[in-house]
Amino acid sequence: MRLDKLIERQLQTSRKQMKRLFLMGKVQVDGETVYQENKNVDSSIHTIQVDNQTLLTDDRYYLLNKPSGVVTANQDRLPTVFNQLRVEDRRVDLSAVGRLDRDTEGLLLLTSNGQLGYDLLQPKKKVTKVYEAIINAEVTAEDVTLFGEGITFHGGESCQPAKLEILSRKLEESYVRLTIREGKYHQVKKMFLATGKKVIYLRRVAMGPLTLGELPTGTYRPLTQEELLQLKPYFR
């Protein structure tokens, strides 16, 4: 969470008192004096000391293996990604980092750390997203080249170069892995549509340093300490 909010909340300071603590050099993160009031911190990966007191955050980070049929929305008539959480893990401040289509499965990060979520989605951060997909046709070496050069959607919008790997293929169906660094609406489906092919199954298996691993579909788990440490560069 933001350092200024943490100080105000935990030390019960006024905004002015909080600002004074920064000005006086009393705020340290990982042993270094910081002056950036909106710095994003988490006490499981940062040592936060203010006026010699150690402050603790309580943000949550859940890695969900989203099943098909579930929507990435706060509220809907259909089951949502938040309904997948046990009641004791539901918090009003949780949000999804990006969205997966209703019929897409796979890795979705749910967190109460809105700043981290926002930063992971910034195009300039170029966070990789890896998808595995079944395509309704034979994906060819030519497609690999086209994706590598940058696909242009029907309608003219262009995508950055993407890495397409063919895992197996037959005339009527292919299994592929696609790595992209953007998050356009329906991006993967539209990329294949641009080559005249249709995605018939889609699953996200990785986002940045996070991977789905063997997490069963429809289940979730908190991020490990190691995973949070891997996300540390995104805490700005």
Catalytic (active-site) positions = 101
Question: Which residue's CB is nearer to ligand URA, number 21 or number 191?
Answer: 191
Size of interface with ligand URA, in residues (CB under 6 A):
8
Q: Which member of 8, 89, 101, 173 binds ligand URA (CB under 6 A)? A: 101
Give, as one character, the DSSP assignment of residue 121.
H
Question: Which residue's CB is nearer to ligand URA, number 44 or number 68?
Answer: 68
Q: Which member of 41, 70, 100, 164 binds ligand URA (CB under 6 A)? A: 100
Cα distances (angstroms) measured from residue 71 to each of 51, 67, 87, 129: 45, 9, 18, 19
Number of alpha carbons in the 13 Å side-chain half-sphere of residue 93: 10
Question: Which residue's CB is nearer to ligand URA, number 22 or number 220?
Answer: 220
Cβ atoms within 10 A of the Cβ of 234, count?
Answer: 19
Contact 82, 112 (CB under 8 A): no
21 binds ligand URA (CB under 6 A): no
How far apart are CB 214 and ligand URA at their closest, in Å? 21
Site string for ligand URA, 177-206 (x = CB under 6 A): ---------xxxx------------x----
Cα distances (angstroms) measured from residue 60 to each of 42, 94, 96: 10, 8, 12
Question: Which residue's CB is nearer to ligand URA, number 101 or number 173?
Answer: 101
What strand order describes the sheet that includes 53-54?
Answer: 32-33, 27-29, 48-50, 53-54
Cβ atoms within 10 A of the Cβ of 61, count?
Answer: 23
How far apart are CB 191 and ligand URA at their closest, in Å? 8
How far apart are CB 176 and ligand URA at their closest, in Å? 13
How far apart are CB 168 and ligand URA at their closest, in Å? 21
How far apart, in whole angstroms, are the C-alpha atoms of residue 231 and residue 227? 6
How far apart are CB 147 and ligand URA at their closest, in Å? 13
Which among 45, 4, 51 has a CA at the least distance from the CA of 27?
51
Question: Which residue's CB is nearer to ligand URA, number 189 or number 197?
Answer: 189
Give the binding site for ligand URA (CB under 6 A).
100-101, 104, 186-189, 202
